[in-house]
Protein backbone atom coordinates (compact mmCIF):
# COMPACT_ATOMS: atom_id res chain seq x y z
CA UNK A 1 0.00 0.00 0.00
CA UNK A 2 1.36 3.47 -0.87
CA UNK A 3 1.99 6.19 1.70
CA UNK A 4 -0.83 8.17 0.12
CA UNK A 5 -3.26 5.29 0.65
CA UNK A 6 -2.13 4.95 4.26
CA UNK A 7 -2.91 8.64 4.84
CA UNK A 8 -6.37 8.13 3.35
CA UNK A 9 -7.01 5.29 5.79
CA UNK A 10 -5.96 7.36 8.78
CA UNK A 11 -8.90 9.73 9.19
CA UNK A 12 -12.50 9.96 8.01
CA UNK A 13 -12.37 13.68 8.80
CA UNK A 14 -9.48 14.16 6.37
CA UNK A 15 -11.38 12.22 3.73
CA UNK A 16 -14.45 14.40 4.28
CA UNK A 17 -12.42 17.60 3.87
CA UNK A 18 -10.80 16.24 0.71
CA UNK A 19 -14.19 15.43 -0.79
CA UNK A 20 -15.77 18.78 0.09
CA UNK A 21 -12.84 20.71 -1.40
CA UNK A 22 -12.87 18.82 -4.70
CA UNK A 23 -14.42 20.68 -7.63
CA UNK A 24 -15.10 17.40 -9.42
CA UNK A 25 -17.08 16.06 -6.47
CA UNK A 26 -18.89 19.39 -6.10
CA UNK A 27 -20.00 19.21 -9.74
CA UNK A 28 -21.42 15.71 -9.21
CA UNK A 29 -23.33 16.76 -6.10
CA UNK A 30 -24.69 19.84 -7.87
CA UNK A 31 -26.02 17.54 -10.60
CA UNK A 32 -27.74 15.44 -7.91
CA UNK A 33 -29.33 18.59 -6.47
CA UNK A 34 -30.73 19.51 -9.86
CA UNK A 35 -32.25 16.04 -10.05
CA UNK A 36 -34.11 16.71 -6.81
CA UNK A 37 -31.93 14.95 -4.25
CA UNK A 38 -32.53 16.52 -0.78
CA UNK A 39 -29.61 18.41 0.72
CA UNK A 40 -29.83 16.36 3.92
CA UNK A 41 -29.41 13.14 1.94
CA UNK A 42 -26.34 14.54 0.22
CA UNK A 43 -24.76 15.47 3.57
CA UNK A 44 -25.37 11.94 4.87
CA UNK A 45 -24.06 10.44 1.63
CA UNK A 46 -20.84 12.44 1.86
CA UNK A 47 -20.29 11.39 5.46
CA UNK A 48 -20.77 7.71 4.64
CA UNK A 49 -18.42 7.92 1.65
CA UNK A 50 -15.70 9.46 3.84
CA UNK A 51 -15.88 6.39 6.12
CA UNK A 52 -15.49 3.79 3.35
CA UNK A 53 -11.69 3.34 3.77
CA UNK A 54 -12.07 2.98 7.53
CA UNK A 55 -14.76 0.33 7.09
CA UNK A 56 -12.53 -1.52 4.62
CA UNK A 57 -9.64 -1.50 7.06
CA UNK A 58 -11.73 -2.83 9.92
CA UNK A 59 -13.09 -5.69 7.80
CA UNK A 60 -10.02 -6.63 5.76
CA UNK A 61 -6.89 -5.33 7.49
CA UNK A 62 -4.20 -8.05 7.71
CA UNK A 63 -2.59 -8.69 11.08
CA UNK A 64 0.82 -7.26 10.12
CA UNK A 65 -0.76 -3.93 9.24
CA UNK A 66 -2.95 -4.01 12.35
CA UNK A 67 0.09 -4.54 14.56
CA UNK A 68 1.98 -1.71 12.86
CA UNK A 69 -0.93 0.71 13.21
CA UNK A 70 -1.43 -0.16 16.88
CA UNK A 71 2.27 0.23 17.64
CA UNK A 72 2.25 3.76 16.20
CA UNK A 73 -0.86 4.65 18.19
CA UNK A 74 0.64 3.20 21.38
CA UNK A 75 3.75 5.35 20.92
CA UNK A 76 1.59 8.45 20.52
CA UNK A 77 -0.36 7.60 23.68
CA UNK A 78 2.84 7.12 25.70
CA UNK A 79 4.29 10.41 24.47
CA UNK A 80 1.04 12.17 25.33
CA UNK A 81 0.99 10.51 28.76
CA UNK A 82 4.49 11.82 29.48
CA UNK A 83 3.45 15.35 28.47
CA UNK A 84 0.33 15.19 30.64
CA UNK A 85 2.26 13.85 33.64
CA UNK A 86 4.70 16.78 33.36
CA UNK A 87 1.93 19.37 32.95
CA UNK A 88 1.08 21.46 36.03
CA UNK A 89 -2.66 21.55 35.26
CA UNK A 90 -3.24 18.03 33.93
CA UNK A 91 -0.63 15.95 35.73
CA UNK A 92 -2.70 15.33 38.87
CA UNK A 93 -6.09 14.68 37.25
CA UNK A 94 -7.36 11.25 38.27
CA UNK A 95 -10.53 9.22 37.76
CA UNK A 96 -12.58 6.71 39.71
CA UNK A 97 -15.87 4.94 39.06
CA UNK A 98 -17.98 7.76 40.53
CA UNK A 99 -15.46 10.54 41.04
CA UNK A 100 -12.98 12.80 39.24
CA UNK A 101 -10.17 14.41 41.22
CA UNK A 102 -8.43 17.47 39.82
CA UNK A 103 -5.34 17.55 42.03
CA UNK A 104 -3.48 15.72 44.74
CA UNK A 105 -2.47 12.10 45.14
CA UNK A 106 -5.05 9.70 43.65
CA UNK A 107 -7.25 8.03 46.21
CA UNK A 108 -7.37 4.20 46.36
CA UNK A 109 -9.14 2.82 43.30
CA UNK A 110 -8.44 5.92 41.19
CA UNK A 111 -6.05 6.31 38.25
CA UNK A 112 -4.38 9.37 36.79
CA UNK A 113 -5.07 10.46 33.23
CA UNK A 114 -1.43 9.81 32.31
CA UNK A 115 -1.52 6.28 33.72
CA UNK A 116 -4.83 5.62 31.95
CA UNK A 117 -3.20 6.49 28.62
CA UNK A 118 -0.20 4.28 29.42
CA UNK A 119 -2.56 1.44 30.30
CA UNK A 120 -4.37 1.77 26.98
CA UNK A 121 -1.01 1.83 25.18
CA UNK A 122 -0.19 -1.52 26.80
CA UNK A 123 -3.48 -2.94 25.51
CA UNK A 124 -2.48 -1.92 21.97
CA UNK A 125 0.77 -3.87 22.34
CA UNK A 126 -0.27 -7.21 23.89
CA UNK A 127 2.33 -9.03 25.94
CA UNK A 128 3.59 -12.57 25.47
CA UNK A 129 2.18 -14.13 28.65
CA UNK A 130 -0.37 -16.92 27.93
CA UNK A 131 -3.68 -15.75 29.30
CA UNK A 132 -6.36 -16.66 26.74
CA UNK A 133 -7.73 -20.20 26.63
CA UNK A 134 -9.24 -21.36 23.34
CA UNK A 135 -12.19 -23.73 22.99
CA UNK A 136 -9.84 -26.64 22.29
CA UNK A 137 -7.93 -25.93 25.52
CA UNK A 138 -4.92 -24.28 23.87
CA UNK A 139 -3.42 -21.25 25.65
CA UNK A 140 -2.54 -18.32 23.42
CA UNK A 141 -0.80 -15.06 24.17
CA UNK A 142 -2.86 -11.97 23.45
CA UNK A 143 -0.73 -11.38 20.34
CA UNK A 144 -1.33 -14.92 19.08
CA UNK A 145 -5.02 -14.68 19.84
CA UNK A 146 -5.52 -11.43 17.92
CA UNK A 147 -3.44 -12.69 14.99
CA UNK A 148 -5.54 -15.86 14.96
CA UNK A 149 -8.78 -13.86 14.86
CA UNK A 150 -7.59 -11.10 12.51
CA UNK A 151 -9.37 -11.49 9.15
CA UNK A 152 -7.21 -12.02 6.07
CA UNK A 153 -7.35 -9.29 3.46
CA UNK A 154 -9.90 -10.36 0.87
CA UNK A 155 -11.11 -7.28 -1.00
CA UNK A 156 -8.89 -4.66 -2.61
CA UNK A 157 -9.47 -1.14 -1.29
CA UNK A 158 -10.23 0.26 -4.74
CA UNK A 159 -12.83 -2.40 -5.52
CA UNK A 160 -14.41 -2.00 -2.09
CA UNK A 161 -14.59 1.78 -2.48
CA UNK A 162 -16.15 1.64 -5.94
CA UNK A 163 -18.75 -0.93 -4.92
CA UNK A 164 -19.66 0.79 -1.64
CA UNK A 165 -19.88 4.28 -3.12
CA UNK A 166 -22.15 2.97 -5.87
CA UNK A 167 -24.43 1.34 -3.29
CA UNK A 168 -24.45 4.48 -1.14
CA UNK A 169 -25.42 6.65 -4.09
CA UNK A 170 -28.24 4.27 -4.93
CA UNK A 171 -29.45 4.38 -1.32
CA UNK A 172 -29.25 8.14 -0.66
CA UNK A 173 -30.22 9.61 -4.04
CA UNK A 174 -33.21 9.13 -6.31
CA UNK A 175 -31.12 7.75 -9.18
CA UNK A 176 -32.44 4.22 -8.79
CA UNK A 177 -36.04 5.41 -9.09
CA UNK A 178 -35.31 7.50 -12.18
CA UNK A 179 -35.48 4.93 -14.96
CA UNK A 180 -34.18 7.46 -17.48
CA UNK A 181 -30.97 8.06 -15.54
CA UNK A 182 -27.92 6.03 -16.45
CA UNK A 183 -25.99 4.17 -13.77
CA UNK A 184 -23.63 6.70 -12.12
CA UNK A 185 -20.56 4.60 -12.84
CA UNK A 186 -18.33 7.47 -13.96
CA UNK A 187 -19.46 9.70 -11.10
CA UNK A 188 -18.61 6.92 -8.66
CA UNK A 189 -15.16 6.51 -10.23
CA UNK A 190 -14.47 10.23 -9.89
CA UNK A 191 -15.55 10.30 -6.25
CA UNK A 192 -13.48 7.19 -5.49
CA UNK A 193 -10.42 8.68 -7.19
CA UNK A 194 -10.67 11.80 -5.01
CA UNK A 195 -11.29 9.72 -1.89
CA UNK A 196 -8.32 7.41 -2.47
CA UNK A 197 -6.02 9.95 -4.08
CA UNK A 198 -5.37 7.84 -7.16
CA UNK A 199 -6.42 7.81 -10.79
CA UNK A 200 -9.26 5.45 -11.72
CA UNK A 201 -9.80 4.90 -15.44
CA UNK A 202 -13.27 5.22 -16.99
CA UNK A 203 -14.98 1.84 -17.23
CA UNK A 204 -13.34 0.38 -14.11
CA UNK A 205 -16.62 0.14 -12.20
CA UNK A 206 -18.45 -1.17 -15.27
CA UNK A 207 -16.02 -4.08 -15.54
CA UNK A 208 -16.17 -4.71 -11.79
CA UNK A 209 -19.97 -4.90 -11.83
CA UNK A 210 -19.87 -7.22 -14.85
CA UNK A 211 -17.56 -9.61 -13.00
CA UNK A 212 -19.81 -9.57 -9.95
CA UNK A 213 -22.90 -10.22 -12.06
CA UNK A 214 -21.18 -13.16 -13.81
CA UNK A 215 -20.11 -14.60 -10.46
CA UNK A 216 -23.64 -14.21 -9.10
CA UNK A 217 -25.10 -15.97 -12.16
CA UNK A 218 -22.71 -18.90 -11.74
CA UNK A 219 -23.62 -19.26 -8.05
CA UNK A 220 -27.39 -19.32 -8.66
Tell me the percentage of the chain whose pLDDT exceeds 90.
34
What is the rounded CA–CA span in Å between residue 129 and residue 124? 15
For residue 101, the cross-strand partners are: 94
CA distance 25 to 19: 6
Structural domain for 93, as ranges: 63-149
Average pLDDT over residues 62-76: 81
119, 149, 179: which is the final residue of a domain? Answer: 149
Total domain count, the chain: 2
Q: Which of 6-20, 31-45, 122-136, 190-204 has the lowest mean pLDDT?
A: 122-136
Single out the residue in 149, 171, 194 at which a domain terminates.
149
Boundary-marking domain end, from 149, 174, 202: 149
CA 129 to chain centre: 30
User: CA 66 to CA 149: how far, in whole Å?
Assistant: 12
Whether residues 72 and 123 share a domain: the answer is: yes
Is residue 39 located within the same domain as residue 52? Answer: yes
DSSP H helices, 173-203, are 185-196
Residues 74, 145 share a domain? yes
Q: How confident is the model at residue 19 (pLDDT cuts 50, 70, 90)?
A: very high
Judge whether residue 176 has pLDDT over 50: yes
- What pLDDT, in 10s, does the model give residues 83-97? 988 888 788 788 877
pTM of the model: 0.57
pLDDT at 6: 47
Do the Cβ atoms of 7 and 14 come closer than 8 Å? yes
Q: Which residues pair with 133 in a beta bridge?
A: 139
Q: Is the sign of the CA dihedral 216, 178, 25, 45 positive or negative?
A: negative
What tens digit of pLDDT does each residue of 195-218 get? Answer: 999 999 999 999 988 866 544 444
Backbone angles phi, psi at 49, to 5 degrees: -60, -40
Q: Are 16 and 46 in contact (CB under 8 A)?
A: yes
How far is the C-alpha of 220 from the C-alpha of 215, rounded, in Å? Answer: 9
Regarding whether 111 and 92 lie in a shared domain, the answer is yes
pLDDT band at 39 (very low <50, low <70, confident <90, very high): very high
- Do 112 and 161 sit in the same domain of this protein? no
145 plus 163 within the same structural domain:
no
| End-to-end Cα distance, the chain | 35
Amino acid sequence: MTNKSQRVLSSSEENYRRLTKSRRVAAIFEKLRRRGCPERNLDILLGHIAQVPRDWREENEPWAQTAQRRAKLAKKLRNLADEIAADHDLGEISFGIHKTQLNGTPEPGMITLADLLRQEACHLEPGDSPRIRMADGALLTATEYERHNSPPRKVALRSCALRNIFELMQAWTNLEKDKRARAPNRDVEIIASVLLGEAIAPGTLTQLRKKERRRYDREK
